[in-house]
């Protein structure tokens, strides 16, 4: 039997015992408040404990090699944190080249720092003290998907902020359903998190079906096994209902009927899934006014936000990674739905100016550090390919009262500004795809996408994908509208437009936009495989 198969089976053999402990003492709102207050008062010490046991106590840790190279022993780190504060200490470590790039975390590139060269793989960043109860798959929106172990203790550790969030929005005990994938997707993780708070979901809608994954025997069996264990422990997790992306009307009907009976309901899922539900409801003449969507997984852009607003849907934004769960959650008094509170009780976040390739564009790149001893992945100044505004601001919401004072907003991925050598105009292009083109030619933000792919000669080709559902008499007018909007948006976008137009770089392809394996539709899709289409 292969070592990885044996490890997988051993993990599931331990699962029933861990789940019994997990289910025995569900979280209450009173306990959630106590836990968060205690953590907020001890963030620096939490980090030092993680560093002591997960880094300095682990000779194989890549972080330990970077810290030793910087001459930072555990005593030095303690003095640094207690002298400069947590965020100040993290910035000083970054100045000493103690950081990890996202591609290094994923094992795609070696760590290279002024004479140090270190080959790494994703498992090198695993927390040696975390228990692994099952695995889920990352979305793969910035490269190939990867598997990440999940720890029930970490779900319990993240639950207090989740519960405070629901309480702040008045959503405790509101009828709720989930639109997320069966394994290896992340659906079970979200449902288990809610179960720990005794918040039961009515439906679990998955667009990933049984036998859809190439390793379906393993993952389908794992899904059923975990469900059976949960039921035996009194956790009322619903059986997954396979509802494909083009069947979103099923979810919309549940929401409409629930609103008629209860006046409120919530759907949790990623942005694209939620948008499909809203559009399906509008097309069918169903009202979702008064519903709440709790969304994440991809940026909530102004174009998508307007669709929800027009439908009367309240949106709670979110930002996170499979490796560390949520990093930011929606602010009830936010500037917009993309205004988030940093999950400061389990995460530290600093920024560092980062220049993107040959564009000359500089952004404030996010660097994430984990504070929980239960996190499956340890992160210390991990630059995650995202950027945005990070600010201390008074908002007066219930979350701020517990110390969540740091806000994140306007979050974007800078790796999507440059795709394989072609300069892409981030926010300007998103606005054109999601607002300008739908307004002029019809359709929705889900009907337009920029696709970049390589041909057999590794030459980059750029296509504007337009769904066949959109009726267009003259495709050349769409290209001209795109160039015109780029010229009007900014000098940089106009310059890029001039180059593209002169070279005839952008072509139209009548095809549905490409979705990731986990059901995300990003405005820009980069196909890294060689293609013969042209």
The pLDDT mean for the chain works out to 84
| pLDDT of 527 | 58
- Confidence band for 418, pLDDT divided at 50, 70 and 90: very low
Give the H or E element holding residue 272.
Answer: helix 271-284
Q: What is the CA radius of gyration of the chain?
A: 23
Percent of the chain at pLDDT exceeding 70: 83
Q: How far is the C-alpha of 259 from the C-alpha of 348, rounded, in Å?
A: 38
- Confidence band for 320, pLDDT divided at 50, 70 and 90: confident
Tokens 């179960």 appear where? 195
What architecture is the 419-530 domain classified under in CATH? Answer: 2-Layer Sandwich (3.30)
- Phi and psi of 412, rounded to 5°? -140, 165
Both tokens of residue 225? 């096994």
- Nearest Cα residue to 370 out of 189, 158, 191: 158
Average pLDDT over residues 511-520: 75
Both tokens of residue 343? 């999950």
The set of residues, in sequence order, having a beta carbon less than 8 Å from that of 230 and lying 6+ positions away, is 19, 23, 192, 195, 237
Both tokens of residue 119? 């080959």
The domain spans of the chain are 26-166+324-416, 169-316, 419-530
Q: How far is the C-alpha of 98 from the C-alpha of 100, rounded, in Å?
A: 7
Q: Give the fold, CATH level 3, of 169-316.
A: Rossmann fold (3.40.50)
Distances (CA, A) of 32 to 27, 37, 156: 7, 9, 10
What are the pLDDT digits (tens) for 435-476?
999 999 999 988 998 886 654 433 446 788 999 999 988 888
pTM: 0.77
Both tokens of residue 41? 């008062």
Average pLDDT over residues 283-310: 88
What are the pLDDT digits (tens) for 63-95?
999 999 999 999 999 999 999 999 999 999 999
Instruction: Answer yes or no: are the C-beta atoms of 183 and 136 closer than 8 Å.
Output: yes
Please tell me whether residue 27 adopts helix, strand or coil conformation.
Answer: coil
Instruction: Answer yes or no: are the C-beta atoms of 161 and 97 closer than 8 Å.
Output: no
Least confident of 219-223, 329-333, 493-497: 493-497
**In sequence order, what are the beta bridge partners of 270?**
296
Average pLDDT over residues 396-425: 74
Whether the CA torsion 101, 428, 406, 138 is positive or negative: it is negative
Q: Is the pLDDT of residue 4 over 50?
A: yes
Q: How far is the C-alpha of 387 from the C-alpha of 381, rounded, in Å?
A: 14
Instruction: Answer yes or no: are the C-beta atoms of 145 and 137 closer than 8 Å.
Output: yes
Instruction: Answer yes or no: are the C-beta atoms of 187 and 207 closer than 8 Å.
Output: no
- Confidence band for 226, pLDDT divided at 50, 70 and 90: confident
Higher pLDDT, 256 or 338: 256
Tokens 């780029």 appear where? 486
- Nearest Cα residue to 238 out of 186, 163, 176: 176
- Confidence band for 239, pLDDT divided at 50, 70 and 90: very high
**In sequence order, what are the beta bridge partners of 326?**
320
Rounded to the nearest angstrom, the gap between the alpha carbon of residue 360 and the centroid of all alpha carbons in its chain is: 27
Residue 385 exposed, middle or buried by CB count within 10 Å (0-12, 13-18, 19+): buried
By residue count, the chain amounts to: 534
Average pLDDT over residues 179-186: 81
- Phi and psi of 312, rounded to 5°? 75, 25
Q: How far is the C-alpha of 65 from the C-alpha of 224, rounded, in Å?
A: 41
Give the H or E element holding residue 156.
Answer: helix 152-168
Q: Is the pLDDT of residue 288 over 70?
A: yes
| pLDDT of 532 | 31
Strongest mean pLDDT among 27-31, 455-459, 490-494: 27-31
| pLDDT of 430 | 80
Q: Is the pLDDT of residue 182 over 60?
A: yes
């Amino acid at each position: 039997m292969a070592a990885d198969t044996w490890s997988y089976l051993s993990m599931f053999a331990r699962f029933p015992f861990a789940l019994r402990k997990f289910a025995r003492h569900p979280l209450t709102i009173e306990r959630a408040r106590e836990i968060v207050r205690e953590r907020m008062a001890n963030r620096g010490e939490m980090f030092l404990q993680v560093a002591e046991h997960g880094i300095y106590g682990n000779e194989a840790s890549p972080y330990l090699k970077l810290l030793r190279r910087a001459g930072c022993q555990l005593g030095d780190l303690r003095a640094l944190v207690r002298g400069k504060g947590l965020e100040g200490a993290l910035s000083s470590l970054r100045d000493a080249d103690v950081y990890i790039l996202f591609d290094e975390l994923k094992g795609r590139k070696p760590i290279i720092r002024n004479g140090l060269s270190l080959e790494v793989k994703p498992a090198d960043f695993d927390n040696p003290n975390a228990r692994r109860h099952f695995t889920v798959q990352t979305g793969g929106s910035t490269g190939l998907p990867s598997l990440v172990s999940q720890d029930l203790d970490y779900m319990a550790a993240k639950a207090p902020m989740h519960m405070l969030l629901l309480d702040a929005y008045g959503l405790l005990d509101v009828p709720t359903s989930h639109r997320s994938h069966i394994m290896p997707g992340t659906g079970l993780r979200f449902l288990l998190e809610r179960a720990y708070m005794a918040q039961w979901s009515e439906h679990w809608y998955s667009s990933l079906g049984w036998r859809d994954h190439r390793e379906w025997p393993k993952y389908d069996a794992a899904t059923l096994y975990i469900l059976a264990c949960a039921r035996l422990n009194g956790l009322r997790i619903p059986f997954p209902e396979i509802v494909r992306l083009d069947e979103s009307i099923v979810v919309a009907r549940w929401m409409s009927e629930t609103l008629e009976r209860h006046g409120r309901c919530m759907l949790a899922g990623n942005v694209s899934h939620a948008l499909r539900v809203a559009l399906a409801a509008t097309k069918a003449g169903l009202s979702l006014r008064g519903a709440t969507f709790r969304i994440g997984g991809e940026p909530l852009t102004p174009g998508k936000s307007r669709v929800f607003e027009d439908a009367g849907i309240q949106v709670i934004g979110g930002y996170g990674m499979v490796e560390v769960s949520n990093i930011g959650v929606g602010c009830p008094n936010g500037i917009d739905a993309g205004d988030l509170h940093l999950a400061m009780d389990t995460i530290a976040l600093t920024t560092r100016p980062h220049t993107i390739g040959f564009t000359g564009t500089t952004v404030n790149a996010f660097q994430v550090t984990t504070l929980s001893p239960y996190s499956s992945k340890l992160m210390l100044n991990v630059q995650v390919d995202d950027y945005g505004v990070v600010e201390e601001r008074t908002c007066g919401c219930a979350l701020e009262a517990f110390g969540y004072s740091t806000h994140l907003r306007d979050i974007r991925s800078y790796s999507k500004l440059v795709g394989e050598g072609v300069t892409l105009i981030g926010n300007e292009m998103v606005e054109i795809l999601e607002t300008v083109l739908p307004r002029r030619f019809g359709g929705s933000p889900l009907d337009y996408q920029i696709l970049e792919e390589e041909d057999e000669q590794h030459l980059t080709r750029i296509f504007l994908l337009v769904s066949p559902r959109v009726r267009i008499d003259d495709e050349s007018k769409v290209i001209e509208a795109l160039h015109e909007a780029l010229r009007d948006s900014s000098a940089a976008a106009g310059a890029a437009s001039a180059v593209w137009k002169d070279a005839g770089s952008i072509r139209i392809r009548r095809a549905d936009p490409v979705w990731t394996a986990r059901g995300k539709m990003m405005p820009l899709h980069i196909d890294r495989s060689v293609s013969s289409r042209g």
